[in-house]
Amino acid sequence: MKTFVGSVFLLAIVASWRFGQALQIAPRQTIEDGGLAGSYLTNFGVNARALAMGKAYTAVADDASAPYWNPAGLAQMNCREATLLHAGIFAGTDFNYVGYAHPFNEKTALGASWVNIETADIEKTDYFGSPVGTFSDQENAYYISSALRLKQNLNIGLNLKIVTQSLDVYSTMGYGLDLSGLYRYNDFINCGFTLQNLLGPHLKLKEETDKFPLNLKTGVAVKLFSRHFLYALDFDFLNLMPTDSSHYSVKWHTGVEYRYPLKLVTLAIRAGRDYKETSSGIGLSTRFFDFNYAIGFHELETTHRFSITARFGLLPTAEEKELQQQRLTNLVSEHYQLALKYFNEQNYALALDEAQKVQALNEDYQEVKNIIGQIGLIKQRQEALNYFNQALLFYQNNDLKNAAERLKLAEGLNPDIKKEQEDAHLAKAKELVCLRQYTEAEAELTTVLIINSDNNEAREQLNKLREIMPLLK
């Protein structure tokens, strides 16, 4: 199996090379964009893994470098990450990237990053060509990125960016917006896009103003062989709205990666090709760190890129989530059983306490909602009964005003309280008569008539009881 996968990996490298040669037939001037503002945000790359894969990363974008490639990729991360890259891209020019990604849960994530390209110690001359010192040219892009998982297989992302440039004694600043999406067709295929400079920054140095062009970056990524093998292909459509002084161009990127798990680390081997260079690289990954190296073979020179990524605050794995869910289910069941036990024992205070614990763990637990609702109704009826009994006492003491107020409060909580108590006292009277507790029965019948003076049954029983009571003494 390993031999077969290795053969496929080599074939993919050869196929990527031949694919590049086929696309390279286009005239060179149609695929160069060095004159476009902000080209450093499309020409280069911000992690060695992507660079080794020919910068085919729009549909991959699963780490802290996602804002550069496709901010929607932040929503597929399962841990917080920080990544650093430093590269000398050609003589005297350095390229730097610092990025941080923070997923809050399985649906939302934020990121912050900085992209920098700087050429220092450029010779400065006077009108006659005599050297008078040096100056530097520096460009920066600061990203605030967000991503949201709309559906299980669809993410969207947004970049808000501040772009600055300083050249000698001049400096300028602009603001921009990128929009992106990532669609997971299935467990093995991802498709992505980034609409760069939907709102394009404007940079003005002296009298000249540069506007960042509208670009569309698209890509597809395919994972095979238990996801150990990755193939990616990107197309960049640059300057979608060309002017007389700029042109539209298409760039392509393709790359492969094979990840081989070892005892303590995972080894990754990568290769790629794009419109201007061939690349390759390796990477070592642990649970908390990635170390990646890429080498690029350009027609002018060979470049080396290194990046390091640190992971922390890992979100739980699928197995850990399953274990947590099982523990939660057991805890919910335990508290529910206690709530049910106390409810049946009419210990409503403890029953409510246990039911609220269940609701804190699972607010959609319908059986607990029913218990809480029943306890609430019981408490309401008990409060109504208390008011009703107070009304009876006030009536017996000829305090009719307070009696009426308490009765109104009781009926507000339980409109049927009078009928219920009338029937309850009548039933109690009958029970006491059977037990030959005539004095207590007389009191119950009297209460019935206080509640409802038109209760003929109570009146008849009370009259009979009063007739026989002297005979029983």
**Res 28 pLDDT > 60:** no
- Taking a C-beta distance cutoff of 8 angstroms, is the pair 444, 433 a contact? no
Ordered DSSP codes for 247-300: --EEEEEEEEEEEEE-SSSEEEEEEEEESSEEEEEEEEE-SSEEEEEEEEEESS
Is 0.85 topped by the overall pTM?
no
CA-based nearest residue to 391, from 415, 414, 409: 409
What are the structural domains of the chain?
2-314 (2.40.160.60)
Per-residue pLDDT band for 9 (boundaries 50, 70, 90) equals very low
Average pLDDT over residues 392-408: 88
Three-state secondary-structure class, residue 392: helix
- Which helix (H) or strand (E) is 50 found in, with range? helix 48-52
pLDDT digits (tens, 9 = 90+) for 424-459: 988 998 898 888 888 888 888 888 888 888 888 888
Residue 26's CB: how many other CB atoms inside 10 A?
Answer: 13
Average pLDDT over residues 207-225: 89
Q: What is the pLDDT of residues 141-168, one digit of tens each?
A: 999 999 999 988 999 999 999 999 888 8
Instruction: Compute the mean pLDDT over every residue in the chain, rounded to the nearest whole number.
Output: 85
Sorting pLDDT into bands at 50, 70 and 90, what band is 23?
very low
Instruction: Looking at 397-435, list the stretches that DSSP marks H as alpha helix, in order from N- to C-terminal side.
Output: 400-413, 417-434
Mean pLDDT of 336-345: 92
How far does Cα 391 stand from its chain's mean position? 57
List, for residues 78-128, the tens digit of each pLDDT value: 889 999 998 877 767 888 999 999 998 888 999 999 999 888 777 777 676
Under a CB-based contact definition with an 8 Å cutoff, are residues 44 and 89 in contact?
Answer: yes
Q: Are 196 and 216 in contact (CB under 8 A)?
A: yes
Position 2 scores a pLDDT of: 47
pLDDT above 70 covers a percentage of the chain that reads 89
The residues, any chain, with a CB within 8 Å of residue 9's CB and separated by 6 or more, are 229, 256, 258, 269
The 8-class DSSP code of residue 44 comes to: S
Q: Confidence band (pLDDT; 50, 70, 90) for 258?
A: very high
